[in-house]
Amino acid sequence: MKRAIYPGSFDPFTLGHLDILQRVVGIFDEITVAVLHNPNKKPLFTVAERIDLIKEATEHMGHVVVDSFEGLVVDYAKIKGATTLVRGLREVSDFENELKMAHMNRHLDSDVGTVFIPTSPEYSFVSSSLVKEVASHGGRVTAFVPSGVEQALYQKYQKV
Ligand code: ADP
């Protein structure tokens, strides 16, 4: 069984994230969207909220599992029996950081490889932080996030 992990903060999950997922889902038997619990960061959405929103946005897709993890992603991958990490690329600066991370993960566990998927052009400028910035000022983010995430954002910022 070919298993992959798509790790990230997903604070919140965007249509850019969904686009990457849709393009890799057919390649693997099971793909786990793994929300990183990072105690050093102060996210807008709790891990549980992020998991619920991702589940809602991916419920129409088969072979997708949503979970969370803490610590090293290679350790988490081992527990899940996965040997591939999936990461999305928007621009060259993403690639520079992602390449370093992929090399480090490979050093930590030589069984784990990383595949990079380039984003669709329409999502190349979309990031969770930009979406939050716009939504916090009451701007529409309908084109960039699943509808459940849009509602959740407006509720968080009380712009409904
Ligand atoms: P992290 O904090 O790990 O970068 P993110 O939630 O920001 O977590 O991103 C998770 C993954 O999704 C990363 O590989 C990132 O490059 C990718 N990603 C983020 N936004 C987009 C987008 N608009 N299109 C494609 N990939 C994206």
Residue 58 has pLDDT above 80, yes or no: yes
pLDDT in tens, 69-122: 999 999 999 999 999 999 999 988 889 999 999 999 999 999 999 999 999 999
Q: Is 41 a catalytic residue?
A: yes
Ligand 1 mutation target, pool 90, 104, 115, 125, most atoms within 8 A of CB: 90
CB atoms within 10 A of CB 134: 14
Q: Is 120 a catalytic residue?
A: no
Nearest-CA residue for ligand 1 atom 12 is 88
Question: Active-site residue among 17, 50, 87, 132?
Answer: 17
50 Cβ closer than 6 Å to some ligand 1 atom:
no
pLDDT band at 35 (very low <50, low <70, confident <90, very high): very high
Mean pLDDT confidence for 59-66: 94
Q: Is 3 a catalytic residue?
A: no
pLDDT in tens, 117-133: 999 999 999 999 999 99
b/e code 5-19 from CB counts within 10 Å (16+ = b): bbbbbbbbbbbbbbb
Q: Is 128 a catalytic residue?
A: yes
Residue 40 burial (10 A CB sphere; 0-12, 13-18, 19+): exposed
